[in-house]
Structure 1
Amino acid sequence: MLAKVARMYHEHGLRQPEIAARLHLSQSRVSRMLKQATEVGIVRTVVVPPLGVHVDLEDAIQERYGLTDVVIVEVPGEGDAALLAALGRAGGSYLEATLTGSDRIGISSWSATLLSTVDSMQPRSVRSAVEVVQLIGGVGSANVQVQATHLADRLAQVTGADVKFLPTPGVVASTQIRDALLADPAIADVASRWDTLTVGLVGVGSLEPSPLLESSGNVAPRADRDALRAVGAVGDVCLRFFDADGGLVDAGLHDRVVGIGSEALRRIPRIVAIAGGARKLTAIRAAAAGGWIHVLVTDLATGRALLEPPPAG
C-alpha cells in the first residue's frame, strides 16, 4: 500500500485528496503513508545537476579549504576575454542571489574581474545593500583612480546602496604620508566604516601580473614586488600579501598602503573572491588555504587544479 500511494503521488501526480478518495483512506493517513514511504526507502530523492553545474567539485574544494561556498563556472571559449566574461557573470549571479537588504559591502580597488561582475548585475526594485565602501585607494595612474571610483559607484547603483569613496592612491611613498592621509577627516570617516562591513568583494592578486594589468599601473610597484617575492610572497588580497601557505608576509610595503589592514580585513564575516586562470592559481590556492577568503567564484580548470597537490618547491 505504501508503494501504491507513493506511485500515485510522485509518478502520476495525483493530489492527496484524490488518492484518499480512490483508495478509501483518510487524507491524514495518506499524508502519513507518504512520509513513511520516504522513511523506509520506497521514495528516494535524487538531485540531478544540469549540464555545466559541478556540485561535486564545488563541495570538494569547499571541504579541502574550509570555505563556506564555492561557485564553479565553465568558460565557453579560450583567452582572457572569455575567462573574464564567464567569471563576471558567475560572480554577478552569486551576489544577486545572496546579498540581503542589510549588507554593507566593502569592495577592493580597480579590477577587471570585479568590473565584469558588477557590469553583469542588473538594478533591482528592492535595495539589496545598505552601503558600498572602498577598501583601498586606487592603485597606479589617474585613469585607474577613475576606474576604481566607477567600480564602487556601479555596485552601489545596482544594489541601491549609498557609496563611500576612498579618494587616495593605494600605495604612497612613506608611512608618514599614509598616516597623514588616514588622519584626514573625510578619509578617516571611510576607514571607520570598515569595521561595520558584512561582505567583502575582492579579487586575488598575483605577483606575476599580465602585461595589460602591469601597464595599467594597477599593481604594486615592481621594486616592491621584487622585495615581496624575495620573502616568499605569492599573491595578495587588497595589497595584503601572503606566502604559498597563506601566511602574511611583508617587505616594507604594508605600512605604505592606504587601505584596510589585514586584521580588519579578516574580521569581515564573508569575503567573496572572484578570480581564476592559470596565472593566479598559486595565489588563489594560498588565499583559500590562509583564510583570506570565505567564498570563491572561479573557473572549471582552476577549480580542478585546486584539488591537485601543489608543485614541489
Structure 2
Amino acid sequence: MQNIKHIDEYTKVAYYYYKIGMTQDDIAKKMSMSRQRVNRILKKCLETGIVKIVIQDYEQQNVELEVQLETLLGLNEIIIVNNQEGEINNYLGVAASSYLKRVIKTNDIIGFSRGRALSALVNNLLPIEKLNLTVTQLVGGLNAEETNINSDYIVRRSSEILNAKPCFMYAPIILENKELRDSLMKESFFSSVYNTMKACTIAVVGIGDMSSKSSFVQKKYISTEEYNILHKENAVGEICTHYFNINGSIIESGLNDRVLAIDIDSFIKIPLRIGVGCGPEKLSAIAGAVRGKFINVLITDLETANSLTKII
C-alpha cells in the first residue's frame, strides 16, 4: 500500500508540474510539503519511469554529438548539419542564419568576413525585429569573380534584410605594401571603420585553409616570401587573414603589415565569435581555430564533426 500511495503522490506532483505547468513552490503549498520534497519527487518520477521525456526527432538530430564536442572543444555551442546531396555551404548557411536570428539582440554590431558559407547565410537570412543594428566588414574586399562571396556584398545584403546600418571599408583586403596600408589607416574614414569593427558584439567568419582551394593561395594574393614563411611555420588556416598553426598560434609572416582587416587582439575581444566551415581540407584549420580560441561557436557538418573528435 505504501508503494501505491507513493505512486499516487508522485503521479499527482508530476501532473501538476509537467501537464498544468505549476511551479515547484506552488505544488509545495498546494500539497502541504516542502519545495525540496517536490524537487526530490520530480527526480524520482524520472528515475522510476513515471515520467518519460521524449525529445521529438532526437534521432534525426545531432544533439548528443554537439554536446559532446562542446565539452571536448570548450565551445559555447556547436551546430552540426547532416551531410546531404547538394552544395554543403547552402546547408551551413541555413543553419548559420537560423542561429544568428536566435542570438541577435537590439543594438548589436555584427561583423562579417567573407566566403561561400557566409554568402549562403545572408541568402537564407530573414528579417528580425530588432532595433538599432549595425553590420560591418571585418576585412576588405577581394577582386574576385564571385563578388557574392565578398565581405562588402555580405554586409550590404544583410543590412537590407535586417534593416541595419551598414559599415563598408571600400578597400581591398591586401594592399601592395605596409606604407600604403599605414597611410590609409591615418585617414579618419578608415579609423572610423576600425572603431566600428572593434565595437562588434558578434563576429561571423569563414575559416580559411592552406589548400589549393584557398582564394589567397589560388589567386596568389600572398607573396612567395610570405607563403614560404607560412609553409615553414606549418600554417593550417586563417581567420580574417590572421594565419595560425594547428595549435592555434598566430604566425607572423609580414602579411598582416599590408592587410586591411580587424587586428587579432580586437577580434578575440568580440563576445560571440561564430566560425562557419567544413570539409577535410578545413579540418586542421578548424582545429587550430578552436585551440586558439578564435571562435567560441562552430557551425559545421557531420563528417567534419566526427573527424574533430579524433584529432582534438
CA 1:92–1:15: 2 relative to 1, 3 Å: closer
Amino acid at match of 1:68: N
Preserved contact between residue 211 and residue 217 of structure 2 (Cα < 8 Å): no
| DSSP-derived class of the 1:75 partner | coil
Deviation at 1:214, TM superposition (A): 6.4
Deviation at 1:254, TM superposition (A): 1.1
Pair 1:153-2:156 in alignment = yes
Alpha-carbon separation, structure 2, partners of 1:134 and 1:164: 7
Could you tell me which residue of structure 1 aligns to residue 121 of structure 2? 117
CA 1:63–1:146: 2 relative to 1, 3 Å: closer
CA 1:44–1:190: 2 relative to 1, 3 Å: same
Pair 1:309-2:311 in alignment = yes
| DSSP-derived class of the 1:51 partner | helix
Could you tell me which residue of structure 2 aligns to residue 38 of structure 1? 42
Alpha-carbon separation, structure 2, partners of 1:296 and 1:106: 16
CA 1:14–1:58: 2 relative to 1, 3 Å: closer
Q: 1:98 aligns with which of 94, 103, 126?
A: 103
Could you tell me which residue of structure 2 aligns to residue 137 of structure 1? 140
Q: 1:72 aligns with which of 68, 80, 85?
A: 80
Preserved contact between residue 99 and residue 128 of structure 1 (Cα < 8 Å): no
Amino acid at match of 1:221: I
The Cα RMSD (Å) is 3.0
Deviation at 1:98, TM superposition (A): 1.3
Deviation at 1:2, TM superposition (A): 3.9
CA 1:302–1:196: 2 relative to 1, 3 Å: same
| DSSP-derived class of the 1:303 partner | helix
| DSSP-derived class of the 2:310 partner | coil
Alpha-carbon separation, structure 1, partners of 2:282 and 2:19: 53
CA 1:275–1:5: 2 relative to 1, 3 Å: same
* Runs of 4+ deviating beyond 6 Å: 11-14, 30-33
Q: TM-score, normalised by structure 2?
A: 0.84
Amino acid at match of 1:94: Y
Q: 2:232 aligns with which of 215, 230, 233?
A: 230
Q: 1:202 aligns with which of 201, 205, 214?
A: 205
Pair 1:283-2:285 in alignment = yes
* C-alpha distance after superposition, 1:216-251 (max 9, x if no partner): 84x743633343112221100000000110000021
Pair 1:60-2:68 in alignment = yes
Q: TM-score, normalised by structure 1?
A: 0.84
Alpha-carbon separation, structure 2, partners of 1:121 and 1:144: 18
CA 1:27–1:268: 2 relative to 1, 3 Å: closer
Could you tell me which residue of structure 2 aligns to residue 85 of structure 1? 90
Could you tell me which residue of structure 2 aligns to residue 221 of structure 1? 222
Preserved contact between residue 138 and residue 145 of structure 1 (Cα < 8 Å): no
Unmatched 5+ residue regions in structure 2?
none
Aligned residues: 296
* C-alpha distance after superposition, 1:249-283 (max 9, x if no partner): 02111111111111111111110011111110110
CA 1:186–1:61: 2 relative to 1, 3 Å: same
Alpha-carbon separation, structure 2, partners of 1:186 and 1:222: 28
Unmatched 5+ residue regions in structure 1?
18-24
